[in-house]
Amino acid sequence: MADAIQTINVLGFALNAINERNQVIANNISNENTPGYQANVVTFENSLASALQNGGTASAAVTPEGLASSINGNNVNLPGEMALEVQTNLENQSVANSLNTEFSVLSTAING
Amino acid sequence: MSMFPSISIAGSGLSVDQTWIDAIGGNIANAQDTVTPGQPVYREQSVVAAPVGNTSLIGQPQAGNGVHVQAIALSAGKGVLTYDPTNPLANKQGDVVSPNINIGHELTSLVEAQVNYEADATVLQNSDTAYKNVLMIKA
């Protein structure tokens, strides 16, 4: 039981972080032509892995992507962001599916 | 902040791109304008975009809230003097003034704006699917 709850917590955290990543990517893409705009990325995988291994709390961080800027000070890489967006959506779908499976297993255990 | 931020962020991008396309449309439509020298002539419009709210331009990066049109800048507006004595608007010397609009530049910007529009539309669609996946989670 404790294991199932932990799995649900971990999946919930991942879902949140993936949604935030999706938001950051949407923001990067919508600012594709904003002078001086610097693209950001969301990282959480390493933090989550280390929290699962060693205990502690995992966190998602927004950090600058740090690519070279073009002449107007903008460093959004549109094809890269689009690819990342598709990838993030697939991650989102797999986590959502896993959560559904977890819940249906629990539901079967409770209701028979 | 909206409940489904990615959708509103992509929407803000779409509306900036739309404004951009409108400005280009105005520039191209007015490229052939002529006025008597000394009269105000059409000035090329350019859209200035800026991130919404707290941005990565200053301080700690955040997830962000999209983009908006900060201003529509107008070119200096001197125009170019052309000799066209048959034009009813020509002055005594036979000169008229036309806006200084470079069609090549306008059309290049139009393609750029369209690509951005497409990208934002795709993000909007994908975010919609992503949020729906989450909404479908049930016990």
* Structure confidence by residue, pLDDT tens digits, A62-94: 999 989 999 999 999 999 999 999 999 999 999
What pLDDT is attached to residue B32?
A: 92
**Chain A contact present for B116, CB below 8 A:** yes
Task: Give the mutation candidate from B16, B62, B128, B137 for the A interface (greatest A CB count, under 10 A).
Answer: B137
Nearest Cα residue in chain A from B69 = A34
Q: Which parts of chain B have pLDDT scores under 70?
A: 1, 54-60
Full residue range of the structural domain in which residue A62 is found: 2-111
Are A103 and B139 in contact (CB < 8 Å)?
A: yes
A8-52, pLDDT tens digit by residue?
999 999 999 999 999 999 999 999 999 999 999 999 999 999 999
Contact state of A25 with B63 under an 8 Å Cβ cutoff: no
- pLDDT for res B64: 85
pLDDT at residue B57, as a whole number: 53
Cβ <8 Å between B63 and A100:
no
Within 8 A of A5 by CB-CB distance, chain B residues are: none
pLDDT value at position B56? 47
Q: What is the mean pLDDT of residues A90-102?
A: 94
**Domain count along chain A:** 1
Q: Which ipTM value was assigned to this complex?
A: 0.85
Element holding A86 (H helix, E strand) = helix A78-111
